[in-house]
Structure 1
Amino acid sequence: MAGTVRAADETFEEHRGLLFAVAYRMLGTAADSEDAVQDAWLRWSAADRSDVRDPRGYLVRITTNIALDRLRGARARRETYVGPWLPEPMLTAPDVADDAERAESVSMALLVVLETLSPLERAVFVLKEAFGYPYAEIAAALDRSEASVRQLGTRARRHVAARRPRFAAAGAERRAATDRFLDAVMGGDVNRLMEILAPDVTLWTDGGGKVRAALRPIVGAERVARFIGAVAGAPYAGVAAADMRMRRADVNGRPGLVIEGPERTISAVTVELDEAGRVEAIHMVSNPDKLGALDAGRELAVPRL
């Protein structure tokens, strides 16, 4: 019996990173994803595993369905969220930002678009596009017919494509453009910012009603530059400007900026580029409830297809 339990533990731990990665793309927060993985462990440990021939597929299936249930409950809570709701930022390895497909699969911009899908559409899109599962396996995981799953996948792809035009900048090009933006932010250079921002750039700030943030997206280069200029070098989230430290980090598959105080992370910033290499979207997460993964230095695994 002890050997069987130990084998079950080892099997689960072997796939824990994958299960978290699936749950995170479904739920958008590290805390909820970890809870989903823990629930998956409880079901796995209590299940009759004698006829489980594919532990990986079985674990992905139960994790996906747990995440689906959690997502349905979360959607109602997010409707009353104060200001824009953004996913919880997570660190990613530098090589992820240099791989356009992997970087896109965890980008803030894509995760925001996935929030607009139905839970089932999101599950199909995540399993198919991010992890390469065939429709037959997805249908089995979701207890749906393969035909209906294909329809869900088609709708999801069209929806994402309409709201998330993909500009596949090379990793080096993206990093250089992002560095120019970060230099301007860190230097408080509003004029330089105006040169880097696209005319219709949009800034989303997520403070969750707990720290100062714009309650609606800010649109337009001049307005965005003014906002950044106003907050740069000023006290924020109870931390004096002199006590803040800005550092570059790879966040959600993008070169980004992490702002830290003496004891905790204060904010994380990522950007998206247009075809001219200008910044067209900025995502700034400052809600302290969403910065735990950065505080812990936790890195999100982004598997290759």
Structure 2
Amino acid sequence: MEEIMVSICCATYNHEKYLRKALDGIFMQKVNFAYEVIIGEDHSTDNSAKIIQEYEKKFASVIKAYYREKNWGPGKNFRDIFSKARGKYVIVLETDDYWIDENKLQKQVDILENNNEVIAVAHNTIIVGKNGEKLSVDYPECKNSKYTFEDFENSILPGQNTTIMYRNIYKDKQINTSFLFEKSKGPGDRKKIFVLLSYGEIWCIQEKMSAYRYVNSEGSSYSATYRPTALDWCNYYQSFIKYAYEIKNEDGEKCAESIFFINSVAALFKHEYSKKQFYLQWKRLHFKKHCLYKLIKFVVENKVRKKQNHTI
């Protein structure tokens, strides 16, 4: 059996309007390795299943499609897809997004194959609207060659979810992935980035090789389905602190504590935390000086940003 180099994981729900664009972006790739496309069709109410079946006939040796008999939701759907991934490397393609560079996969694989210390490779993206129109906004992506915990603290991501190729951590018994599948109110891509950063280096290619479709009114994406409160963010980042502590990653714990603390201050001022709750959470933190420094930095930067916006 031919070795699968890359597993392309697609969870789709009601993406009839976007599916062809996403799948065509996969099959235009020029590569020198074998890959598989694993699709979890989550009982869509539109014609998504019919479109996938069409591509499945055309690319029968590559596509492995699973049609859910009832709607599982993105979390369960992705868990099942990841469990089936045979590739040495994994990349997610949410099917309202698409790839725009035919050499994207090859470039990422070449880096991972030649640099053992690198666990993941991301790149830049363009942002498009519902109908594919390019939006004049930038994604909060890393602009350096290497991504760090400091970037994570500053709400910078290595790249949008569809841009990140990573080693198949689901098959690596030395990597604790249980954190990824714990139920939590918050974006799964940040959890994945945190895990990857905890176990290796993340490199960033400064090229725009994909399109992120920003649609916050339909589909199953995080931006379309959830509006978190400050308290939700607190609970979310508490799980990051716990995970970093469990795997004994001090940099990760420091990073997670600072983000948690900023959100806990917000929760206090919004009366989502009582003073007693806030104090008890503060007592549990291990890196209090770092948390205070990050809070002051956050407040100052926000004041500067608001002043600049006011003068434009």
TM-score range, shorter chain: under 0.3
**Greater RCO (Cα-Cα under 8 Å, separation 6 or more):** 1
TM-score, reference length from structure 2: 0.24
More helix by share: 1
More strand by share: 2
